[in-house]
Amino acid sequence: MKIDILTLFPKMFAGPFDESIIKRAQEKNLVQVQVHDLRNWGKDERKTVDDRPYGGGPGMVLMVEPIDLALKNFKKKNTKVILLSAKGKTYNQQKAQELSKEKHLILICGHYEDVDQRVVDNLIDEEISIGNFVLTGGEIPAMVIVDSVVRLLPKVLGAEEGLNEESHSKPGYIEYPQYTRPPIYKGWNVPEVLLKGNHAEIEKWRIEQSNKRTKEKRPDLLRGI
């Protein structure tokens, strides 16, 4: 997979993409992530990419032309272009799984007051939000999407079967509790069923605990199940 990111603040991505799973995935050539400064496509001497909104109002709006020019450099036939915006559809694990099947993603980090609506209407495939709150820009949401998508790529984690048991791996599912050594710590015991080695009983316990957690933490996910 290839992922291109358009942003006004490319240095924000240095830390998250230079550590852990994403770093290893890039070293193994399982994914190529490139961060591009949108100002490179500003046409005047100041590399301007934003202007005041027509009709008045607070803040500045990202202009359509720099984004259009940037996309012409990267967009291919199989590219999916996504704008990170508080106005988009809420991101979830199912969307991460869907995006992990793509060959090429372009993530546009929204910023300032908004992005010219002509970008939304003509240049992107999808508008995504990571939650019902407002951030300074789309950089952190882009990091969230890259992290959640890259870990789903084949051979990235090295234990793909475990992905099917993670919370939100399917609608209505919260993962069961996990324990490791020691079996007793400060009087806090590991459930006895996990220590006996009866796999059928362990599986039954895990299903029960998963359903209990789902009911407690996400009752909305139980609808229709």
DSSP codes of every residue in 143-195: HHHHHHHHTTSTTTSS-GGGGGGSTTSSTT--PPP---S-SEETTEEPPGGGG
pLDDT tens by residue, the chain, 225 residues: 999 999 999 999 988 898 899 999 999 999 999 999 999 999 888 999 999 999 999 999 999 999 999 999 999 999 999 999 999 999 999 999 999 999 999 999 998 888 999 999 999 999 999 999 989 999 999 999 999 999 999 999 876 545 555 555 566 678 899 999 999 999 999 999 999 999 999 999 999 999 998 888 765 544 443
- Count of all residues that appear for the chain in the document: 225
Q: What does the alpha-carbon distance between residue 151 and residue 97 come to, in Å, rounded to a whole number? A: 10
Given 97, 123, 150, which residue is the final one in a domain?
A: 150
Q: Is residue 156 part of a domain?
A: no
User: Same domain, yes or no, for 33 and 123?
Assistant: yes
Indicate whether 192 and 99 sit together in one domain: no
Predicted TM-score of the model (pTM): 0.84
Q: How far apart are the first and last CA of the chain?
A: 34
Domain boundary among 94, 124, 150: 150
Last-in-domain residue among 118, 150, 182? 150
In a domain, 106, yes or no: yes
- Residue 40: inside a domain: yes
Domain-embedded: residue 155: no
| Residue 109 domain flag | yes
CA distance 6 to 110: 9
CATH number at residue 199: 1.10.1270.20
The total of structural domains in the chain comes to 2
Separation CA 164–CA 161 (nearest Å) = 6
Instruction: Report if residue 144 sits inside a domain.
Output: yes
What CA–CA distance (Å, rounded) separates 135 from 111?
Answer: 9
Based on the domain organization, do 199 and 144 belong to the same domain? no
* Same structural domain, 98 and 193: no
144 and 110 assigned to the same domain? yes
